[in-house]
Structure 1
Amino acid sequence: MFAGHRYPEAMTDNSTPDPSETPRDAPRNFPPALLTHADGAAATIGVDTGQVEAVAAQGARKGRILAWSLWDWGGSAFNAVVTTFVFTVYLTGEAFGGEAFVSAQLGWTLAIAGLIVAALAPITGQRSDVSGRRKFWLAVNTYIVVAVTALMFFVKPEPGYLWLGLLLLVVGTVFFEFASVNYNAMLASVSTPRSIGKVSGFGWSMGYFGGIVLLLIVYFGFIHPDVGLFGVTDADGLSVRVAMLISAAWFGLFALPVLLAVPEYHAPSKVQREKVGFFASYGRLGRDIKALWKTSRQTVFFLIASAVFRDGLTGVFAFGGILAAGTFGFSAGEVIIFAIAANVVAGVATVTIGLLDDKIGPKPVIVASLIGLIVCGSAVFFLHDGGQIVFWTFGLALCLFVGPAQSASRSFLARVIPTGREGEVFGLYATTGKAATFLAPTAFALFVTIGGAQYWGILGIVLIVAIGLALLLPVQAKPKQLD
């Protein structure tokens, strides 16, 4: 995967580095180094020090890209293990109460977390922009998530511990979203206009691959065997609880590189804004949204469109396991195997198609991906009688398009955000996304009710993706519209 990240060959004396591939502070077009003869005349030695320093700066940038992307790799601990495949499944088990009751409480818990994020994410992003402490707040929010994940070890499989587990899930979800705002805002700092799609895709794919590795460690090391590593068994929920400690350590470890290798963000003097109080930040946010509507309406339209289609993309993974087990007869082990295969496909597709993002632009990538999702989702619905082979074929085909659409959506927004407001606008990105999180679940449930069978829910997800596509098509991609 890292084979494409090679250092460039040495350039000739009369060549110049590509400005779009060179950091802003890298030296450019320095004259060749000079030697002085005994008579005082200058003589070149054929070494262009400017080119050497530019290449060195480019190499440092590639190291920062890897360090930045490792946060996504580590974040898979919360996305894959805590909220998708392990802890939430554990928390909705019979040990905590009736299935309907605990599932409903989980739903309300995630809804509350979504409301908190929607209310606070733009403000926290804005304040990290103004304070010039974006990396500091990434660290604070990340390690709160790490601590909360570790505390999940104390959630025993008893009804009395349900509320502790739900509380920890709310806190972890909120602070993970806050950390993601700061992390996404750093994309422009580690990439160039020419490479932003590739970098975004690389980071997103690292999240998928990290999830694969950690799921394999957790599943085969602790959950699947009767006696796992270190003699851990499933007695008293110990296998899942230890998995939470492993996940906390995983995230904490892989979050360190971005904090150590990527410099802190400081807004240029021309875009610096004075600090205001917490509640005054809402007034500023209102004025900024109003200005955004007047000066860059396309960005607002994109935030709305992306909120809809991103919820459809989330629905593909959220309901994929349910459909695999309920409609297509997958066993619990087969669902895990499919999940790992799905992450492999999504990860490879994301890093590969990220290269197209930079060549043809993010919007064509998003549009093509959404069309692919609609076609493959419809095929799963109409061919569901074909059994598991249909789900394996078109289910994995769906995963080809989910990651690229998510990654290109992030890079699209990063291209149009004005310098110094990345955190604030990515906070709006998180807010609009959370505001639409009810769409896919509602459409899924509605179509299941109408059709009378689980597989009808596929059409609900396809509908949400199609609406998002329709909203996206009129949006114009104009870089740096707010400059």
Structure 2
Amino acid sequence: MAVSKRRIWGWMAFDWASQPYYTLGLTFVFGPYFALVATNAFMADGMEKLAADAQAQSIWSAGQTIAGLLIAITAPFLGAFADNSGRKMPWIAGFSVIYIIASWALWGLEPSGAGLMWTLVIFYVGFFAAESALNFVNAILPSLGTEKEIGRISGSGAAFGYWGGVVSLFILLLLFVESPDTGVTLIGLAPPFGLDATQMEGTRSVGPFIAIWFAIFMIPFFLYVRDDPRLGGQSTRIAVVWGELKETLRGVLRRPSLKNFLLGSMFYRDALNALYAFGGIYAALVLGWTTIQIGVFGIVAAIAAAIFTWAGGLADQRFGPKPVIRFSVWLLIVVSCFIVGMSRDHLFIFPLAETSQVPDIIFYVCGMVIGGAGGSIYAASRSMMVRHTHPDRPAEAFGLFALTGKATAFVAPASISLFTFLTGNVQLGFLPVILLFLLGLLLLRWVNKDGDRAEWSALQP
């Protein structure tokens, strides 16, 4: 059955609408701002700078850990429930409302640190809503094209989302985010609407900005994407849904390709999320970058992500998703080694002059690789999941995908927290990330590049 272009573009609108939560919120504006506010608050309580930096990184990772565990617990059950009912759109709408409210509330984090922990909770409530909505949106992907077309559609959607991140970050940096030293934006303007630069209100407006952006650009999604009326019609009683989900989980053990893909992606996606979550914090704490510098870095990284994710989608269509994933993971291992081995005054064993720009240049290149390789992994992984998904149970399948993506979501943040605490060093805190990427690569060896839907059908009674 032919799929209308409006439905495909409507589906891709979700990536465009939701990307600012990750680009502006998690990585390049709010995350670093939160880290600096937290560090200053801890120093005001008597901590040394290095200990305060480590504590700021630890509480940020703790929030990510808890949110990841909640997503892991709820995603498979919600997916199974949605498959039985045949309705995904009400769930997407409900999580969208939570997303908007939580985003707007980020405004409340003042430079003094007032409401620090409350804001941390709010941010990860919004993160939970964004990720939960994404699971249902991903479950629509198998219905948008043939197996050969899915990789291109997934890559194009992810690339479209990254362009949304670029545009939103550009607007925020040029017009809103102020330098703490000068009180003006990147192009020398005072923040608009009478925002008080001394209270960092331009930077804090990232929350309302994300909320408004999402509300506007989700309109095409809700206009053109509908639930498939042919699906559903099964019992939505909790006992029935739970019984079917348990049977699905047992079935995974009889599907070696799916089992190894879920386990492998669990490790490499966990490592990738850690790079996203802590990249901006690393730049702020290790390299001493300002929010504006991190924002410019974010624009460069997001442009690279948009271009290379689109290219990755074309490569997926030609070669399949598995080679794209493997190549991208190797690139991220190299980047992680540089992050561990580089600071403001040295590059591995080589000392650097105090005024050297080498760390800045290298980290810009690292950012481009993280953006491009990370985007390609995201798009190719959901394309690979489609190859392991039964057409009648897409939400449940992507719920399992979310489960394995978040079941160990605490491992990378917790390991980073532990290594940072034990070493007292933000750089060395990234060592576990390299191991997680290597584990993911190892398990991919046993993944069928074409998926296992045929084998799955053969297992059914």
TM-score over 0.5 for the alignment? yes
> Which residue of 2 is the match for residue 98 of structure 1?
42
Paired residues of 1:135 and 1:265 also in contact (CA < 8 A)? no
Residue 206 of structure 1 aligns with which residue? 160
Matched, 1:73 2:45: no
Cα distance between partner residues in 1 of 2:115 and 2:421: 33
Compared with structure 1, are the counterparts of its residues 479 and 266 closer, same or farther at alpha carbon in structure 2 (3 Å cutoff)? farther
**Aligned residue for 1:255?**
218
CA distance in 1 between counterparts of 2:360 and 2:125 reads: 38
Equivalent residues of 1:311, 1:437 under 8 A apart? yes
Decide whether aligned partners of structure 1 residues 320 and 108 sit closer, same or farther in structure 2, where only a CA change above 3 A counts: closer
> Cα 1:174–1:397, aligned 2, differ >3 Å: closer, same or farther?
closer
Query: Residue in 2 aligned with 1:4?
Result: none
**Residue 360 (structure 1) shift:** 0.9
User: For 1:416, what is the secondary structure of its paired residue?
Assistant: coil
State yes or no: 1:361 paired with 2:337: no
After TM superposition, list the pairs within 5 Å mapping 1:76-475 onto structure 2: 76-92=19-35, 93-94=37-38, 97-98=41-42, 100=52, 104-154=58-108, 156=110, 161-224=115-178, 225-226=183-184, 227-268=190-231, 272=232, 274-278=234-238, 280-294=240-254, 296-328=255-287, 330-378=289-337, 384=348, 385=350, 387-444=359-416, 454-475=426-447
Per-residue CA deviations over 1:106-162 (Å, capped at 9, x if unaligned) read: 443333322221111111111111112112221221122112222334555565533
Find out whether 1:480 has 2:453 as its counterpart.
Answer: yes
1:289 positional shift: 0.8
Residue 451 of structure 1 deviates from its aligned partner by 7.3
After alignment, is 339-348 or 103-112 more displaced? 103-112
Distance in 2, Cα, partners of 1:391 & 1:84: 14
Whole-angstrom CA distance in 1 between matches of 2:426 and 2:119? 29
Q: Is the 8 A contact 1:380 1:395 kept in 2?
A: no
Instruction: Give the Å deviation of 1:359.
Output: 1.1
Counterpart CA distance in 2 for 1:151 and 1:331 is 23
Structure 1 residue 433 displacement after superposition: 1.2
Q: 1:319 to 1:123 in 2, by over 3 A?
A: same
Q: What displacement does 1:442 show? A: 4.5
Contact 1:81 1:87 in 2 (8 A): yes
Deviates more, 1:149-158 or 1:182-191: 149-158
What secondary structure sits across from 2:383 in the alignment?
helix
Compute the displacement of 1:371 (Å): 2.1
**How many correspondences in the alignment?**
422
Amino acid at match of 1:287: E
Greater length-normalized contact order (CA 8 Å, ≥ 6 residues apart): 2
Between the aligned partners of 2:105 and 2:370, the Cα distance in structure 1 is 35
- Distance in 1 separating the partners of 2:283 and 2:105: 32
Answer whether contact 1:363 1:412 (CA < 8 A) is retained: yes
RMSD between aligned residues = 2.8
Deviations 1:16-44 (CA, angstroms, capped at 9, x unpaired): xxxxxxxx1x4xxxxxxxxxxxxxxxxxx
Task: Kindly indicate whether the alpha-carbon contact (under 8 Å) linking 2:79 and 2:396 is maintained by their aligned counterparts in 1.
Answer: yes
In terms of mean alpha carbon deviation, does 219-228 or 174-183 score higher? 219-228
In structure 2, do the counterparts of structure 1 residues 338 and 360 end up closer, same or farther at CA, with 3 Å as the change threshold?
same
C-alpha separation in 2, matches of 1:131 and 1:330: 49
Change (3 A) 1:170 1:337: closer
Structure 1 297/138 Cα, relative in aligned 2: closer, same or farther at 3 Å? Answer: same
Range moving further from structure 2, 339-348 or 92-101? 92-101
Matched with 1:11 is none
Identity of aligned residues (%): 31
Seen in structure 2, the aligned counterparts of structure 1 residues 178 and 454 have a Cα distance that, compared at 3 Å, is closer
- 1:173-210 deviation per Cα after TM superposition (whole angstroms, max 9, x unaligned): 22222101111111112232221011111111122221
Deviates more, 1:169-178 or 1:151-160: 151-160
Equivalent residue letter for 1:291: G
CA positional deviation for 1:404 = 0.9
TM-score (norm: length of structure 1): 0.79
Following TM superposition, the consecutive aligned residue runs of length 4 or more in structure 1 with deviations greater than 6 angstroms are: 449-452
Instruction: Say if 1:446 and 1:460, in contact at 8 Å, map to a contact too.
Output: no
